[in-house]
Amino acid sequence: MKFLLKITYIVIILVSSVYSKSEVDYPKDWKTFSSVETPLTLIGSLPGCDADVSALSEIYQETIATYCAAKPGGPGEIAVLTNNIEAYKNRNGIFKDGSVSVFHLVELKVLFVTQWKNNSPYYGIFTEDGQDASNTRGSGLHPQDCRSCHTGYKSYCFNGQCSSFLKTITNQK
């Protein structure tokens, strides 16, 4: 029985290590990025986990549920930052290689990072001081969780960039 428990423990460690790495490097200069206004940043924080968000769009409901899984009670104050403000303002998902956008959960001191390489978005989750925090599968703290949301809402997200303004852009194509 002890042998079986040891094998199970090793398998769990190996499986969790597969899901424990960000796809991008920590953006050391993130504090110098430009702040961006979005519908969420205009509110200033995400609603608490006990808030009735049923009237909000599905993507906002899932966003709140994801971040409530990261911090019971709700993550609180947020900020969106980017090192490519012009591309971000275009709201079309087209970013040059090396462009980075950060969804900052201020109270949690966590950075959800999107970086574009070869015109494709890649994701990472870090603490403010650079520790890789993408190690909790299913809690919204893994690059695949980011990708799932950023590709699952086509009327709001295009090539890794999510915004309520994208709906009109993507419908025109």
pLDDT in tens, 98-153: 999 999 989 888 899 999 999 899 999 999 999 998 865 445 577 877 777 777 77
Residues 128, 108: contact at Cβ < 8 Å? no
Would the pTM count as exceeding 0.85?
Answer: no
Distances (CA, A) of 48 to 29, 58, 61, 146: 30, 16, 12, 20
Element (H, E) at 123: strand 120-127
For 18, the domain range is 2-172
Q: What is the mean pLDDT of residues 34-43?
A: 81
| pLDDT at residue 164, as a whole number | 60
Q: Structurally, how many domains does the chain consist of?
A: 1
Percent of the chain with pLDDT over 90: 29
